[in-house]
Structures are given as C-alpha cells and as structure tokens.
Amino acid sequence: MRASTYARFGSVDVLEVRELPEPPPRAGEARVRVHAGALNPKDVLLRRGKMRWLGPARFPRIPGYDFAGVLMDPAGDLAAGTEVFGMVDSNYGGACAEVVRVPVDELAAKPAALSMVEAAALPLVGLTALQGLRDELELRRGDRILLNGASGGVGTVAIQIAALLGGRVTAVCSGRNRDLVTGLGARQVIDYTRAPITGRYERIFDIFGTLPWPRAKPLLEPGGRYCTTIPRGANVARGALRRLGLHPAALVVVESRRRDLEHLARWATAGDLRPVVDSIFPLAEARDAHARLETRRAQGKVVLTLGAGA
C-alpha cells in the first residue's frame, strides 16, 4: 500500500510517499481501504518531535487520524463493502495510508450526505467538539459560550454543535473569518487581531491554546466552566481535579466511540452539521498539505485523497 510517511523528525521535507505492507487482519479489528485522510495540528507537532513525551520514536510513522473509506472486512453489523468513517486509535496517527486497521467498535457508517473528503474531515474534530461541549463543559441551553480558535477544524464544528445544544456562541478568530463563523452559527465575533477578549460567559472552550486558564478565569461567570484541548502539564493536573469535581477547568481527551460517531452522522444526515474543508491534496502532495496546515490559517480541515472515490 502507499502511505505518507516520515522516518525522522523535521520539516515538511522529511515527508515522503512510500510503499509499505498492508496491515494483516486481526481479531476485533477491521481493515478499511481509505479514500480520504485528514490532517490535524497534532500531526505537525508529532512530525517536528514536539510530543516525544508520548513515548519512544518508532519510524516510519504515518500521519493522520481521520479517515473515510470502504470496509474490507465485516465490522459488527457493518458488512464488508460498507462506506465508513472514523479515526485511528494510535497516539501517533496512521490514517494517511491506503489501508488502515481499526477496532470494530470505533467505526461507523459514513453519512450518505457527505462525500468521502467531507466525512474524513469530521471524526477527530467532531468527537473533540462533542465530547468537550457535552461531557466536559456540560453546555446547557441558553449558556453564553466563548470559543477561542473558532475558524479551525475543531472550532468550525464546535460552533455548529454548540448552537445545536442551545448555546449562544461568541467566536474568537481573525476578522477575515467573520463571515465563515457567523454563517456557522456564531452570534458574536471577537477579532483577536484588533481587540482584547472581553465579556462574561458561562462556558469557555479554548480550542487554539492561546487562552489559558489564568486569562480565562476572569471572563467566567460564577459557577462557570472552562475546557482546553491542549495537554500541557498544568492543564492535565487541572483536568484530573475537574474529574473529581474539585476544579472548574477541564481537559478534553478525545475518545473514538462508535455511538458518538453515529451521533455526528445523524446531525450530518439531517443537514445540521457539515465539516468545513479548507483544502484538498492528493497523497503525492502531502508536503504541500502539511505546509498549508503549518500556516495556521486554514479555515477548517486539510484533507488528503487516496482513491478515486474521494
């Protein structure tokens, strides 16, 4: 199979497309022939060697967490040949390859309303947004919620889910993305390039990592809650205390769950949720795809195509 790989840490120049053996069948897992795989900021950090605390480096590595494709093996009640979407469960990615192997309970049928590219753009960001808003922040109808980093992959989905859950969304992003975020459901926009973040909120979701707890705390109403996606040391400690009910700040650690993927699929099928795709690259142009992500200006997701069905 062809795969986007790297054999050492470094810039986009370390990326290359290689032929690798297909993963063999394994009990409790199913193989998927991938048509599209999406990139996330974590892929950039991993490639640069910024997350070595996850464990020893094992090369070659395959970037990517999200995918959409066709089942090669049965997966529970999903027959071989079914179009599916999901995310790989490895800490290190692996979705930007022609074949991936995934636990059967972490796959869901692809919504017919979405293309392969759109479906590949949804799993990690959708699960992060859903689990952050519903489980960690426990967003309630009518809550004022601040989304910091609202125009990226997680942010564009979080706006839609927060609105579906009844939240009143204030989006923090660059002014050039104002039309994008208001079109997705944000009621107010703060252009961080022109003004400080102000206001009072029942919930704050720091998606981009630039609004840490000490800066967010004064913006919270009494009894308010804060959540971040950034696993820095202090955030991890506060997240552990939050699980014990001892701190209002949480850390969302995304889990690949079939029932949550199916929840996202139902919203997509109803036309209530649509992933935002910034750009699409063929596998051979993986370096360009990573370079686009590194600009930190992508509006939504950067996706690689690996098959004619994408």
Closest CA to 67 of 27, 105, 28, 94: 94
Q: What is the pLDDT of residue 242?
A: 45
Q: What is the pLDDT of residue 310?
A: 56
Of 100-109, 155-164, 186-195, 249-258, where does mean pLDDT reach its minimum? 249-258
pLDDT digits (tens, 9 = 90+) for 67-98: 999 999 999 899 999 999 999 977 667 999 99
Residue 27: pLDDT band with limits 50, 70, 90: very high
Q: What is the pLDDT of residue 247?
A: 53
Q: What is the pLDDT of residue 309?
A: 55
- Side-chain half-sphere exposure of 132, counting CA atoms within 13 A: 31
Q: What mean pLDDT is predicted for residues 203-226?
A: 94
pLDDT digits (tens, 9 = 90+) for 161-194: 999 999 999 999 999 999 999 999 999 999 999 9
Distance CA 36, CA 309 (A): 9
Closest CA to 117 of 305, 296, 308: 305
- Side-chain half-sphere exposure of 195, counting CA atoms within 13 A: 10
Instruction: Provide the residue type at 232 as one letter.
Output: R
- Whether the pLDDT of residue 230 is over 50: the answer is yes
Residue 296: pLDDT band with limits 50, 70, 90: confident
Q: What is the pLDDT of residue 244?
A: 35
CATH class of 2-123+256-305: alpha beta
E strand or H helix at 268, and its extent?
A: helix 258-270
Q: Is 104 in contact with 28 (CB distance < 8 Å)?
A: yes
Closest CA to 221 of 155, 163, 146: 146
The maximal CA–CA distance of the chain, rounded, in angstroms, is 56
Residue 299: pLDDT band with limits 50, 70, 90: confident
- Whether the pLDDT of residue 238 is over 60: the answer is no
Residue range(s) occupied by CATH 3.90.180.10 in the chain? 2-123+256-305
- Side-chain half-sphere exposure of 296, counting CA atoms within 13 A: 9
**Which residue carries 């489980």 as its tokens?**
135
Topology at the third CATH level for domain 137-251: Rossmann fold (3.40.50)
Q: What is the pLDDT of residue 232?
A: 54
| Exposed/middle/buried for residue 178 (C-beta within 10 Å: 0-12, 13-18, 19+) | middle
Residue range(s) occupied by CATH 3.40.50.720 in the chain? 137-251
pLDDT digits (tens, 9 = 90+) for 109-131: 999 999 999 999 999 999 999 99
pTM: 0.92
pLDDT digits (tens, 9 = 90+) for 148-167: 999 999 999 999 999 999 99
Cis link prior to 60 (omega < 30° from 0)? yes
Instruction: Provide the residue type at 303 as one letter.
Output: V
Residue 231: pLDDT band with limits 50, 70, 90: low
SS3 content of the chain, % helix, strand, coil (to 5): 30, 30, 40
Distance CA 137, CA 1 (A): 41
